[in-house]
Structure 1
């Protein structure tokens, strides 16, 4: 049985979501990638990664629509793609039952989204570059184009907490130039010109700008829990977890 986290949010009955941890993977996987590494772009053995993906697939309605993530702000609809085609984007969206949207993370923030009608779902890969570039706003905007409801809710998955995420002046300036209230998401670092950034708070602010005010999660740190989570900032070379969500049936049939 794969170990995962089930989001605690009031999603419609036809919306399912999980966030994988690094626990339980291919028995051969050892060292820095030990556990359920799902990323094919790191230096892990491709055969082991495929074993891990196959193991995960047993619990899903279809193969996840993996993306080629570039720390950008582009969302993409994955309804017409398949498991052999990795689109270049940093958010996946669907309006078809059974299509599994997915992002890979290891400190960056996975933001799961759905409307309260259960007609659209999406998941965004939101590191500081993606947040600053508007990946959340762009994804929410696209979801609303096809949503049957004005209400969209969000769940913030595990990511690096502010206690461990030190950035420079230039990162803080990007956010405060967009909205001066973003300053409250930064605390002074150990030396001049350094700041501890709160990705969860920055995401909540961006969600608020996008009109999403029901936001859940945002309380699990990847850096401080090496037994459960991979962390790029902590370990450098490491594996990746996945945030995944999908609809089980058409809206209105639950």
Structure 2
């Protein structure tokens, strides 16, 4: 099976792709294109082959760069490649250097890819709910601007993530967002007593727009419901499975 690459129209002339689980060599409960490391320092043969296939599907010959993701709002700027064993603890990165493929791992959180074509500056962010409300989208746009990007020229796309219909949260979760901004109520829909359905994709798009990004594409791909195409932490948890995989989203120059 070939690697499935989901591409956004907003980034159609930029090397990028939101990958799923199809086309990899991992076996067992995380069969497919699993790029998850779950604390591993060394890269095993299956992970190495999945990385190779992912790069070849998006930007052949590029050097894949990833982060030690911690659900923060921190953004790293890539000027020279960092040691894979000493990846920055951050959830977004930007660069203006060609030859690098910025890779973000997700399993329900929202992957965000951004580009200012004119300036030759790209960004990638991992937006879980903690990073989203903390401002990871805002930080990524600011870091791109610091490199010379113009917010008016930045195009962004939000890839596969858990959809509102699949993302039930409790009242405390909703109150946290409404305390930050009462208008955030619109990202929640009614559910069973004491719970609501949260629109992570819509909220991330809102934060990008508030940061000054004018063109934002929401791809509307639900990781939770489409088990054949995507990994999902919440689905694995609900099924009582002992492990879960993570897909990668890549952008490069």
- Structure 2 Cα separation of the partners of residues 221 and 118 of structure 1: 32
Contact 1:166 1:195 (C-alpha < 8 Å) held by counterparts: yes
Secondary structure of residue in 1 paired with 2:166: coil
Contact 1:65 1:83 (C-alpha < 8 Å) held by counterparts: no
The alignment status of 1:244 with 2:244, answered yes or no, reads no
The alignment status of 1:37 with 2:34, answered yes or no, reads yes
- Structure 2 Cα separation of the partners of residues 220 and 53 of structure 1: 22
Alignment of 1:139-218 (within 5 A): 139-149=140-150, 150-192=152-194, 194-218=195-219
Contact 2:63 2:99 (C-alpha < 8 Å) held by counterparts: no
Secondary structure of residue in 2 paired with 1:102: strand
Contact 1:42 1:239 (C-alpha < 8 Å) held by counterparts: no
Unaligned runs of 5+ in 2: 238-242
Deviation by residue 1:168-212 (Cα, 9 ceiling, x = unmatched): 2222222222222210110122122x1110011111211121011
Contact 1:42 1:238 (C-alpha < 8 Å) held by counterparts: no
User: How many Å apart are 1:83 and its aligned residue?
Assistant: 5.6
Give the aligned partner of residue 68 of structure 1: 68
User: How many Å apart are 1:10 and its aligned residue?
Assistant: 4.6
Contact 2:11 2:115 (C-alpha < 8 Å) held by counterparts: no
Q: 1:166 to 1:239 in 2, by over 3 A?
A: same
User: Cα RMSD between the aligned structures?
Assistant: 1.9
Give the aligned partner of residue 77 of structure 1: 77
Question: What TM-score do the two structures reach when normalised by structure 2?
Answer: 0.89
Secondary structure of residue in 2 paired with 1:228: coil
Unaligned runs of 5+ in 1: 248-254
Runs of at least 4 residues of structure 1 off by over 4 A? none
Contact 1:92 1:103 (C-alpha < 8 Å) held by counterparts: no
- Structure 1 Cα separation of the partners of residues 114 and 174 of structure 2: 26
Give the aligned partner of residue 46 of structure 1: 44
Question: What TM-score do the two structures reach when normalised by structure 1?
Answer: 0.88
* Structure ranking higher in helix proportion: 2
Contact 2:8 2:219 (C-alpha < 8 Å) held by counterparts: no
- Structure 2 Cα separation of the partners of residues 233 and 98 of structure 1: 34
- Structure 1 Cα separation of the partners of residues 251 and 11 of structure 2: 14
Deviation by residue 1:12-34 (Cα, 9 ceiling, x = unmatched): x4x311111101111xx322110
Give the aligned partner of residue 18 of structure 1: 17
- Structure 2 Cα separation of the partners of residues 154 and 57 of structure 1: 20
Deviation by residue 1:233-252 (Cα, 9 ceiling, x = unmatched): 001321110111011xxxxx
